[in-house]
Chain A
Amino acid sequence: MEMQEVLFYAIMAFTIFSAVIVAFANKLIHSAFALLFTFVGFAGLYIYLSADFLAVTQIIIYVGGILVLILFGVLMTQDIYDVKAIAAHNPLLLSLGGGAFTAIIIAVLISKKPWFTLLNKEFAPTTATIGKLILYEYLLPFEIASILLLGALIGAVYLARAEDKDK
């Protein structure tokens, strides 16, 4: 096997292993920390899809931002250290149903052909291309994105504050 392929399987194993820890860890805080490694593994997979900008974005936003939010959420929950992760106590039927549903979706996706193969391709940096696209062709969506962010900011802060006032 080639070096690239070996690395790919190593990253896959790393990602799946941390995802399994997220699902099966007994303490929520352990799940939250394992999620960090899952996100990093996903960034590795994006690199294999030649999406270098997306990979860095994944690290900046998910590892640097969303995960901090999740950790704060865990830390702000009352008596979190005594709470066992709820996933371990789900009714069997519900878990099986959810698992079967996901499996069907994945099976449908796998059966769709043709697959894109990107291995052994020359990877080119994408950041400059994205920059040009958002400044020329996709200018309107780009500016609308800022309004969307504004709405998200005001809405999220308003909701978080409303909860704060209740207590």
Chain B
Amino acid sequence: MTGFYIALIFFVTGMFLVAVTLLFSRLLQTKKPSPDKYLTYECGELPQGGAWIRFNNRFYIIALIFIIFDVEIVFMFPWAVVYGKIGLLAFVEMFIFIVVLLVGLAYVWANGDLQWVKPRPKLEHLPKAKGK
């Protein structure tokens, strides 16, 4: 259980460092806001439109698939701890477990849910110069 104390120390330290950094920044900074400074920095270009666009649905499906296999991994932790003592039986049991879930992976794969949509930018062709 002492491992959790270490985890707690890491968590608190992490939050503390972020808070201290922000606090120092707040204390040291001078505030002279101007509209230009509030612009989003996009490599020196003027930003077009808001940053809060709708994300593609595909992210959601990928996240759903991720959660299912996340749960599968959670089941594998206690299995892995006792695997050395039980041996072949544990192997067979987990094999069945994984094969059943592989059916799901095959299903989403075959249906193209794992396919990433590639952006197909429509290039605007320059109008041809007249007189040629």
| Closest-CB distance, B88 to chain A (whole angstroms) | 12
Q: Chain A interface: which of B21-29, B39-47, B107-115, B122-130?
A: B107-115
- CB-contacts of A87-135 with B (<8 A): 123, 125, 127-128, 130-132, 134-135
Can you list, as one digit per residue, whether each of A61-87 has a CB less than 8 Å from chain B (1) or not (0)?
Answer: 100111011001101111111000000
Range, interface on chain B: 35 or more
Can you list, as one digit per residue, whether each of B78-91 has a CB less than 8 Å from chain A (1) or not (0)?
Answer: 11111100100110
Task: Classify the interface of chain B: helix, strand, loop or mixed.
Answer: helix
Task: Classify the interface of chain A: helix, strand, loop or mixed.
Answer: helix
For the complex, give the distance between the alpha carbons of A161 and B60 in Å. Answer: 10
For the complex, give the distance between the alpha carbons of A132 and B107 in Å. Answer: 31
Range, interface on chain A: 35 or more
| Contact A131:B78 (CB < 8 A) given known A65-B67, A150-B101, A160-B61 | yes
Enumerate chain A residues within 8 angstroms of B80, measured Cβ to Cβ.
Answer: 131
Closest to A53 in B: B78
Of the residues A7, A77, A125, contact of B54 by C-beta under 8 Å: A77
Q: Verify B70–A65 contact, CB threshold 8 A.
A: yes
Q: Verify B97–A142 contact, CB threshold 8 A.
A: yes
For the complex, give the distance between the alpha carbons of A64 and B67 in Å. Answer: 8
| Contact A143:B93 (CB < 8 A) given known A134-B78, A160-B61 | yes
Q: Verify B78–A149 contact, CB threshold 8 A.
A: no
For the complex, give the distance between the alpha carbons of A57 and B67 in Å. Answer: 12
Q: Verify A160–B57 contact, CB threshold 8 A.
A: yes
Q: Verify A157–B61 contact, CB threshold 8 A.
A: yes
Q: Verify A163–B67 contact, CB threshold 8 A.
A: no
A139 within 8 A of B: yes
| Contact A135:B104 (CB < 8 A) given known A65-B70, A69-B64, A76-B60 | no
Enumerate chain B residues within 8 angstroms of A145, measured Cβ to Cβ.
Answer: 75, 97
For the complex, give the distance between the alpha carbons of A81 and B53 in Å. Answer: 10
4 new A-B contacts, CB < 8 A, other than A78-B54, A135-B86, A146-B100, are A79-B52, A128-B82, A134-B78, A150-B103
B contact residues vs A (CB 8 Å cutoff):
1, 4, 8, 11, 50, 52, 54-61, 63-68, 70-75, 77-83, 86, 89-90, 93, 96-98, 100-101, 103-104, 107-108, 111, 113
